[in-house]
Structure 1
């Protein structure tokens, strides 16, 4: 294809980078709040009953997020406009986030949490589908690489808003809301996505011209779910495992390791995404990363000491982080019907919220009987199955 035609068939770098910034804003919206600010508020209200109340909040919050993500994805499909939903969700979720400072009871906090989850997914669901409307298949690898900024941004925001002396507990909520607005607003105001003929035709047809077999969609969905379960389990119980190996391990050191892995995944994901686009091998990096996650978990399961444990976790952490960011973009490639993109992505989003419902029971079933070694072996098997599923995907797009 001539250079002029090829450039015309691609989305502008400005939109890609501003969209990646907005996606990072979505991570900033929930990571600091759900992992740090909300648990601190629940502990202050509930005291010794904080774990039980936090479990209720997590459970019902995950259900609200799952259903509302599907609903607002469907609504943005019906209206054929993503931007108004994104803007409305940004404003509403920001106001509700600040409103947590006015609530003094645990039950009221959980009710407000459900409303906030609904408002947040009013922004997140159309935002995810918006990429499919404007980013062609030839750039989905690059898009996936840029999405690796999202978890790193969420972790960095958590560090920033909790700096000693920076803000009070209530002010932190508004600080998070301001950071989200600074990330999301630019793409709405200045994104100006380039109109691409191929994508416009696909969006206006009843069925996308390149049908995907149902089995491919199921394999992609299942592979992400299996890796997400492994990632969620590690996220929740990593500190306890490190302490079991080395009692001197502190929460600050674990957080530093986690942050370094997220930061290191960004350039690797960008490089992998560019390679996938250049060689038209969209699913090869996904299979490789799933295999890397399986290897890392087995190293962790067999680790005799802290050095091997850290090595295994670095392998797993980098592999899983790259996998999840690239998978988010390549999912847009396999969805069969462009006019239902938002709804279908909401169904894919169940792979993000579902593990929080599965992971605690899996851990309780395995750790008391087999220790963390048994848990890591099981999680490694999940990642290995994901690898096999992805190896069955087409070699090219």
Structure 2
């Protein structure tokens, strides 16, 4: 009532924002420990010497399934006009299928299970992502983006937790992951109780709390900018250890994991600060442009690095800046989508920027590294990040 009387824009409750961020982190927990740690062990048990080949098959088939499912279930939740039943259905099915991975007896059986698991997982993730667009006003999207930075860190932390020696055997680890996911996603469904925001469901309306709008073309710029940065991110995720070892052969996978953990942890407060600043100053795109620009610098530092200290410094600069970029981009994308009635489907199309880099990055690496070394790869990735920066800096707004 006070908001209506004073004309103040409606704001979403902090309870919902925090529980929603917890649920999104649960989404990360649902796939990060499994795909990076638990699945390779299972594939090794089943495929032996052909592990690398079957992991490649799984990655390709899983990426295609995830891309299609994210668009499809996003569209389905648009058509039904509700998100929660899809979230709950996807949560239940994906947890059951995750646990059933231990029953796979052949590599082909495992690939089939992973494809169906990806379909069910995105039945949960696509409506969950769109839900934020339905109930979080533009004036709080920076804060939302900062909170979303917790997701990658929680995914990595869950991987460390479930693999503690002696805590659980391989089959029990799958059950533990499923329980963690349910425990993180269910609270927002049961207790989130978001403040209704009917104005966020109207196309072309003058939206309370939405001070800055964007012209035609903003969606394509946001999509392409994220894709370019994600290609660089995917390349570093896949080849960082190999590059570090090429500089210092005493460097281990444990050392790399610690660096990842530090970068992910530090990116959370940075994203929160940047998100709150963007809300207060009504500058939603500027932190994205700065993040992509600093990421470009980090890649150039890596290209010029001659020793391990320089290499680590360059990666820390890149990792922190792009961590902030990706978290805030996820929330500010909701601001530029033009049609609330197709929000879930459109976010599914944006999700292609998360899956396509895994298909593009290996070929880019194969073309560049044999001829120019990792320095050449990093220069090329820096050029992509610089293009992303230019796209964002020159994005036209209508006010």
* Structure 1 residue 392 displacement after superposition: 1.2
- Taking the TM superposition and a 5 Å limit, the aligned residue runs for 1:1-397 are 5=6, 9-196=10-197, 200-203=198-201, 205=202, 207=204, 209=206, 212-394=214-396
Within 1, Cα distance between the matches of 2:43 and 2:78?
37
1:396/1:191 Cα in 2 relative to 1: closer, same or farther (>3 Å)? farther
> Any unmatched runs of 5+ in structure 1?
none
Structure-2 separation of matches of 1:350 and 1:365: 23
Change beyond 3 A, Cα 1:77–1:332: same
Conservation of the 8 A alpha-carbon contact between 1:299 and 1:312: yes
Query: Offset at 1:394?
Result: 4.0
Cα shift readout 1:306-329 (whole Å, capped 9, x = no counterpart): 111111000000011110000000
Mark the runs of 5 or more structure 2 residues left unpaired by the alignment. 208-212
Following the alignment from structure 1 to structure 2, what is the Cα–Cα distance between the partners of residues 306 and 338? Answer: 48
- Normalised by the length of structure 2, the TM-score is 0.96
Q: Give the Å deviation of 1:14.
A: 0.2
Contact kept in structure 2, 1:212 and 1:336, CA below 8 Å: no
Q: Give the Å deviation of 1:213.
A: 3.3
Q: Is the 8 A contact 2:300 2:382 kept in 1?
A: yes
Q: Following the alignment from structure 1 to structure 2, what is the Cα–Cα distance between the partners of residues 202 and 208?
A: 9
The question of whether the paired residues in 2 share the 8 Å contact of 1:10 and 1:135 is answered with yes
**1:195 aligns to what SS in structure 2?**
coil
TM-score by length of 1: 0.96
CA deviations 1:36-80 (Å, max 9, x no partner) are 111111111111111111001000100000000000000000011
Q: Structure 2: how far apart are the matches of 1:6 and 1:254?
A: 51
Work out the CA distance in 2 between the residues paired with 1:320 and 1:224.
10
Contact kept? 1:284, 1:395, Cα under 8 Å: no
Instruction: Write out the 4+ residue segments of structure 1 that deviate beyond 6 Å after TM superposition.
Output: none
> What secondary structure sits across from 1:214 in the alignment?
coil
Q: Please give the secondary structure, in 2, of the residue aligned with 1:14.
A: helix
- C-alpha offsets along residues 327-383 of structure 1, whole Å, 9 cap, x if unaligned? 000000000000000000000000000001111111111111111001000000000
**CA contact 2:20–2:192 (8 Å) conserved in 1:** yes
Measured against aligned partners, the alpha-carbon deviations of 1:263-287 in whole angstroms (never above 9, x if no partner) come to: 0000000000000000000000000
Q: Per-residue deviation at 1:8? A: 6.1
CA distance in 2, matches of 1:209, 1:35: 44
Q: 1:385 to 1:285 in 2, by over 3 A?
A: same
Q: Return the alpha-carbon distance in structure 1 between the equivalents of residues 48 and 237 of structure 2.
A: 24
Structure 2 Cα separation of the partners of residues 50 and 316 of structure 1: 31
Q: Say what the alpha-carbon RMSD is for the aligned residues.
A: 1.5
